Amino acid sequence: MSASNKTELLIATIARLLQGCRHVAVGAASPIPGAAALLARARSGGAIRVNLLGSRRHNFFTSGGVELFDCAAQGRIDAFFLGGGQIDGQGNINLVGTGAYPASTVRWPGSFGSAYLYFLIPRVILFREEHSRRVLVDRVDFVSAPGTSDPGVWRRGGPYALVTALSLFSFDKIGRRFRLESVHPDHTVDEVVDSTGFAFERPEFVPDTEWPDPATLALLRGPIRAQLAETYPRFAAAFSEPAA
């Protein structure tokens, strides 16, 4: 599978997770989630409102993070995306660094508003292309944002799914663990198991992730590619040429 084909697969996979949403927000420096949100909007006939932070054409916020946080607190955002240097089996994410904090051996940019948004937005999709035991760990070194909360702690948000370069997981909030839903073409369940540092549920038969159909590919390589170019010109240029 070529790099552009894999990118299209990831975009289409994430877009399917956004079905039924009314408002999707995407943080800065997130071209694949951004493309997925635009694809979901196109496939919904414009019924989904999309905010791409960093975009002028696809962002109705006028003060960036302030309005994002306000909308989240008011229950007006249905889906958002988070990643992490580490993600563990309970959906905890680490955006601070590795090693015993504060003497971390590796430092990352920081948590920003991840914990706040994780509690408030119902459908948080975790996205990290690298699928390895250094990223998907048994327990994060630092909890930037907890995936679950103790009984009595109010939260309407939390992990909904995890998408990587190898597979798609859903998250069971009651069982507090991930479940393998599909493995991307050219990869295997054994490869996913070997590359994952936490235990997870899986059915007896794990299907391949659904490949985008011709209509979806035409959308991606045509209007979505053009729309994304305003915010991510280099990323959009790497797409396959529009279908003839």
- The string of pLDDT tens digits covering residues 9-43 is 999 999 999 999 999 999 988 999 999 999 999 99
Partnered with residue 80 across adjacent β-strands are 124
Provide the residue range defining the domain that includes 173: 3-237
The residue among 15, 22, 58 whose CA lies nearest residue 40 is 15
Whether residue 61 is contained in a domain is answered as: yes
* Residue 218 CB-half CA count within 13 A: 5
Whether residue 243 is contained in a domain is answered as: no
Looking at residue 241, what is its pLDDT? 55
User: The domain spanning residue 24 has which CATH number?
Assistant: 3.40.1080.10
pLDDT, mean of residues 73-97? 97
Whether residue 173 is contained in a domain is answered as: yes
Type of residue found at 178: F
- The string of pLDDT tens digits covering residues 179-236 is 999 999 999 999 999 999 999 999 999 999 999 999 999 999 999 999 999 999 999 9
DSSP state of 211: P
Looking at residue 3, what is its pLDDT? 78
Looking at residue 28, what is its pLDDT? 87
Whether residue 244 is contained in a domain is answered as: no
Give me the percent of the chain exceeding a pLDDT of 70. Answer: 98
- The string of pLDDT tens digits covering residues 149-178 is 999 999 999 999 999 999 999 999 999 999
Whether residue 99 is contained in a domain is answered as: yes
- Answer whether residue 242 shows pLDDT above 70: no
- Answer whether residue 57 shows pLDDT above 50: yes
pLDDT confidence band for 62 (50 / 70 / 90): confident
What is the rounded distance in angstroms from the CA atom of residue 240 to the CA atom of residue 122?
Answer: 33
- Answer whether residue 244 shows pLDDT above 70: no
Whether residue 202 is contained in a domain is answered as: yes
Looking at residue 162, what is its pLDDT? 98
The residue among 88, 104, 62 whose CA lies nearest residue 169 is 88
Whether residue 194 is contained in a domain is answered as: yes
Number of domains in the chain: 1
pLDDT confidence band for 103 (50 / 70 / 90): confident
Whether residue 120 is contained in a domain is answered as: yes
